[in-house]
Structure 1
Amino acid sequence: MNTAKMQVEIWSDIACPFCYIGKRNFESGIEKFADAANINVTWKSFQLDPTLPEKTTVDHEQYLVKYKGLPADRVNQMLQQVAQSAKAAGLDFHFEKIATVNSFNAHRLIQLAKTKGLGDAAEERLFKAYFTEGKNIADRITLTELGKEIGLTENEVTDALTSETYAAKANEDIDEARQLGIRGVPFFVLDRKYAVSGAQPAEVFTQTLEKAFSEWRAKNPETAFEVTEGPSCTADGNCG
């Protein structure tokens, strides 16, 4: 029996507000997709600003003004608009709480979580910690607690944050994004054939999934056994 699934890869950075919004919109889109059970989602690391320190030095608004060179009035307006977009997606953003720090340690945690089938859980918890709770996602104690919340052990998280194994995995994703020409996130790649850039509406994800999957299914047809029935026993104890 064919158990293959179509692959969807999502390049994302925890420090990106539209990555969180895009995650919600993608989830809403895939809920309306009839073949969702045949989709395998993989989260990929991306860093918008690898130069940031691991400790907060400025608040998020100051960071955008001072280090990104954006006008203060534009920043204020932009953050209000993003917060409204988040609210429409069912999210609660608090930009005034954000600890503007380097996201690489968070990506190490995500890479560990992926090996345990917890990649989506890690993304979700880290997004909430960053945008809603104002937690420092570079702090190792904080990351240990967040990791434990989603089912990882303290030793596993410590290893992920101290060894080079998971740093290398994060850098592989970042390098791959560069090779593919990905310059912004979120970036959704479906079956390495179609891509959706940005936090598009849910219906865009549904439509793109349907298109990509129909082509994938044509190349990967469902198979089933032709069964000749005979006397047998079932797990519930019936024999006959």
Structure 2
Amino acid sequence: MKIIYWSDFNCPYSYIGYTRLKNAINELKLDVELDMKAFELEQELDDEIIPMVNHYARKYGIPEFQAKDMLKEIDDIGKAEGLDFDYSNAKITPSKDAHRLLKFAKSKNNPDLIENITVKLFEAFLCENKPLNSQEVLVDIGTSVGLDESEITNMLNSNSYEIEVQIDEEDAKLNGVQAVPCYFVENSEEMLVIPGALSTEEFKNALKDLKSGKIESKTL
């Protein structure tokens, strides 16, 4: 089974969905290949570091006290999944370089490395309040999973993998992906599209139905 999914490291529901999906896969003891595709939610951002409360208030046209309540709700959802969310105090920046770093990690063809760096990139922003456009942050993350510091630095100082990120985002449009997370689950000749961060049980039911050939009765 293979799951191609579009996510963004700036998106709390992308990490929540990833966690629930991994739990479902592990509980079902499935052999699954995961392939994350880039989807930048906030492409209009420049390199300014913006507190999440201000960003939410501006984005949704709401007062800051309401934005704080919304962010706290998301923190609580993450914590219920065992994630040490501090999204309320995050500072949002562009995520393109984080996606480029993941592409670079994929070039090493090491599934454990890819999984580790994916989690660390989510945690850096959503749990540790680190800016994802910081070269220092990205180099620290990369070296912590075993990537070479000079190779990471050279990659980040170039335009390497920018085209690959753009291709992912064009593919998202072609496949009708308008929000993340969104999962395309392939099993033999069958395909199931799962939009959004389902619960672990819902993911388990969807994966079991696909594996058993009963997806025709599945509504997501």
- After TM superposition, the score normalised by the length of structure 1 is 0.81
AA partner of residue 172 (structure 1)? I
Matched residue, 1:123? 118
AA partner of residue 155 (structure 1)? S
Matched residue, 2:37? 44
CA distance in 2, matches of 1:18, 1:183: 14
AA partner of residue 33 (structure 2)? N
Q: 2:195 aligns with which of 182, 194, 197?
A: 197
Matched residue, 2:164? 169
Deviation, structure 1 residue 172: 1.0
Deviation, structure 1 residue 67: 3.7
SS at match of 2:28: coil
Deviation, structure 1 residue 102: 0.5
Matched residue, 1:154? 149
CA distance in 1, matches of 2:207, 2:73: 28
Deviation, structure 1 residue 208: 1.4
Matched residue, 2:13? 18
SS at match of 2:123: helix
Q: Does residue 209 in structure 1 map to residue 207 in structure 2?
A: yes
SS at match of 1:48: coil
Q: Does residue 62 in structure 1 map to residue 54 in structure 2?
A: yes
Checking the alignment, whether the CA contact within 8 Å between 1:42 and 1:119 is kept in structure 2 is: no
Checking the alignment, whether the CA contact within 8 Å between 1:97 and 1:133 is kept in structure 2 is: no
AA partner of residue 76 (structure 2)? Q
CA distance in 2, matches of 1:49, 1:12: 12
Instruction: State percent identity of aligned pairs.
Output: 29
Unaligned runs of 5+ in 2: 214-220
Deviation, structure 1 residue 150: 1.1
CA distance in 2, matches of 1:183, 1:70: 23
Matched residue, 2:28? 33
Q: 1:79 aligns with which of 49, 54, 71?
A: 71
Matched residue, 1:230? none
Matched residue, 2:177? 182
- Number of aligned residue pairs: 208
Which deviates more from structure 2 when the two are superposed, residues 42-51 or residues 92-101? Answer: 92-101
Unaligned runs of 5+ in 1: 1-5, 216-240
- Across the aligned residues of Structure 1 and Structure 2, the Cα RMSD in angstroms comes to 1.8
Checking the alignment, whether the CA contact within 8 Å between 2:12 and 2:87 is kept in structure 1 is: no
Q: Does residue 93 in structure 1 map to residue 91 in structure 2?
A: no
Deviation, structure 1 residue 122: 1.7
Matched residue, 1:229? none
CA distance in 1, matches of 2:6, 2:40: 9
AA partner of residue 115 (structure 2)? D
Checking the alignment, whether the CA contact within 8 Å between 1:59 and 1:98 is kept in structure 2 is: yes
Checking the alignment, whether the CA contact within 8 Å between 1:43 and 1:120 is kept in structure 2 is: no
For residues 152-191 of structure 1, the C-alpha deviation after alignment (integer angstroms, 9 at most, x for no partner) is: 1112212332333311111111111111111111111101
Deviation, structure 1 residue 214: 3.2
- Which has the higher Rg, Structure 1 or Structure 2? 1
